[in-house]
Structure 1
């Protein structure tokens, strides 16, 4: 059975920022890769609940800090140590662009980055494609 994880592509925008910026967290383990907040589904938990719980645990951002964007959910499928993994990402805007991110011990750093910088940091093509899809979705919003 595939491992399943869920999380959020979180972005912020304000009059002071020329571009939309995306939140990426740097892991404190392994190759210290950059990823949006996400984590594994607990038994009996639905996907969206997992995404909200993990975002709170990893970045200190709860439902009250986020505005979910309708009509966007991306599913990534890849292998981790020979096992299939599925990751669902929803899209959410940080309501107050000045809200502080509070990292858990799973991450050592975070950065808000415009699209192309975020894609460079993300490294993996499927994550880059997901970030670009999020940007396109936001550009089409009224």
Structure 2
């Protein structure tokens, strides 16, 4: 059976960016273990916990961001499948906007640093193709929603 984890791709919109389409930054956390990879907040599902509750709990634990700090974006849910130490793992990511772009990130001891990054910088930090593809897909989703307004 695959390990299951859930989390959020958290983003914020900056005011007064030129061009305006460059106003989106994604939150990545750098692990304090292993190869110190960069990842959105996520974690394992506890017994009896539903997936969205896990994503909210882990985002609070790892980045200090509460449910009231976030606005979940409709129509985006991405499931990744990969192996960790020879074991299958699946991760569900929702997309959530930080309501107040100035809200402070507070890291747990699982992470040593965080960064807000525009799409291409976030993809460079993320390193893994599946995560890069997920970030790009999230970005396209946001652009499609913005174009409909």
TM over 0.5: yes
Alpha carbons 2:29, 2:111 under 8 Å: kept: yes
Equivalent residues in 2 for 1:83-98, closer than 5 Å: 83-98=87-102
How high is the TM-score relative to the length of structure 2?
Answer: 0.94
Q: 2:26 aligns to what?
A: 22
**Alpha-carbon distance between aligned partners in 1 of 2:98 and 2:41, rounded to the nearest angstrom:** 13
Q: Which runs of 5+ in 2 are unaligned?
A: none
Equivalent residues in 2 for 1:1-142, closer than 5 Å: 1-17=1-17, 18-141=22-145, 142=149
Shift of 1:19: 2.5
How high is the TM-score relative to the length of structure 1?
Answer: 0.98
**Alpha-carbon distance between aligned partners in 2 of 1:3 and 1:63, rounded to the nearest angstrom:** 24
**Alpha-carbon distance between aligned partners in 2 of 1:19 and 1:98, rounded to the nearest angstrom:** 14
Which moved further from structure 2: 115-124 or 14-23?
Answer: 14-23
**Alpha-carbon distance between aligned partners in 1 of 2:15 and 2:57, rounded to the nearest angstrom:** 30
Q: Which runs of 5+ in 1 are unaligned?
A: none
**Alpha-carbon distance between aligned partners in 1 of 2:14 and 2:62, rounded to the nearest angstrom:** 23
User: Secondary structure at 2:65's aligned position in 1?
Assistant: coil
Alpha carbons 2:15, 2:23 under 8 Å: kept: no
Instruction: State the 4+ residue runs in structure 1 displaced beyond 4 angstroms.
Output: none
For these two proteins, the number of residue pairs brought into alignment is 142
